[in-house]
Amino acid sequence: MTPEEKKRRKFIQQISGLGVLGLATVGGILGGPYLKAADLRLRPPGAIPEDEFIGLCIKCGQCLQVCPYDTIKLEDIDGKAGVGMAYIEPRERGCYLCKAFPCILACPSGALDHEHDSIEFVHMGIAIIHNPDACLAKIGEPVPDSAINRIYDHTKVLTDEEYESHKVTIRSDDPEKVELHKTLLKKLEQHRGEKICTICADMCPFHPDNSLAIGMINIKDGRMLPEIREACNGCGACVELCPTDVIKVIPRKSYSDIYSRKEV
């Protein structure tokens, strides 16, 4: 293990022990210096630094083929950077941080680093609360049906009947993948009509304890707002699932890049 990897592992161990260390004001996260990073693509887990990734990704699509959530896409001709290269569009489908990171293991070129195939080494970016005034938990509006139904569009394993009825049943083909998608939808279904939305905090796939990555904080009169925490690795699941597009991921940035300790 390289010194940098050791440092990162130690950091995660420290935050696991200490819990939440703080948050920054929304004003503090939206500054100009991060706009360039915001223009970068979110790369799959394990992606090496961007300039090296562009040199090493051979556009083979192996990571895409093994992703059970259909998260990874390949850049098309009109894309932002690197035609044919692997990226994630989190509003369309976030990464769900599979325990064995099959995407990393499938990469034959080293563009996704095989030494980074566990949660403590995966760092894709950092989430920010970019539009807090739209948060349903803040404004006190229940989760609408449309917010849950929208996610049915993101899964490719449903039958027409399931898709139209918004009721999932178990199908026999490709059972592991089907089950993963349906487990996700069933968990999300628990939030349909919820009076105070907690989708982002509840559905965050960071493991073993997602409260290290995100949590809901009380603001006033029972209203709440999500808080991004140090272990967030920018997987983008919260970005996909939020009913009102409150959260964004800044690729390649870390908690310490964005959130200032002096505001703790």
Binding footprint of ligand SF4 on the chain (CB under 6 A): 44-45, 67, 69, 71-72, 95-98, 101-103, 127, 135-137, 197-200, 204, 206, 213-214, 226, 228, 232-238, 242-244, 246-247, 249
Sign of CA dihedral 243, 96, 17, 12: negative
Shortest CB 35 distance to ligand SF4, Å:
19
Shortest CB 109 distance to ligand SF4, Å:
16
Shortest CB 21 distance to ligand SF4, Å:
15
Asked whether the beta carbons of 23 and 238 are under 8 A apart, the reply is no
Shortest CB 99 distance to ligand SF4, Å:
9
Query: Nearer Cβ to ligand SF4, position 160 or 176?
Result: 176
Query: Nearer Cβ to ligand SF4, position 211 or 260?
Result: 211
Cα–Cα distances in angstroms (integers) from residue 70 to residues 54, 140, 177, 180, 191, in the given order? 22, 33, 10, 11, 23
> Would you give the distance in Å from CA 87 to the centre of its chain?
13
Shortest CB 164 distance to ligand SF4, Å:
25
Shortest CB 58 distance to ligand SF4, Å:
17
Query: Nearer Cβ to ligand SF4, position 82 or 226?
Result: 226
Which two structure tokens, joined as six digits, stand for 110? 């080293």
Shortest CB 161 distance to ligand SF4, Å:
26
Query: Nearer Cβ to ligand SF4, position 164 or 245?
Result: 245
Query: Nearer Cβ to ligand SF4, position 18 or 165?
Result: 18
Which residues contact residue 65 at a Cβ distance below 8 angstroms, ignoring those fewer than 6 apart? 106
Asked whether the beta carbons of 237 and 205 are under 8 A apart, the reply is yes
Which two structure tokens, joined as six digits, stand for 86? 């692997």
Query: Nearer Cβ to ligand SF4, position 84 or 102?
Result: 102
Query: Nearer Cβ to ligand SF4, position 168 or 255?
Result: 255
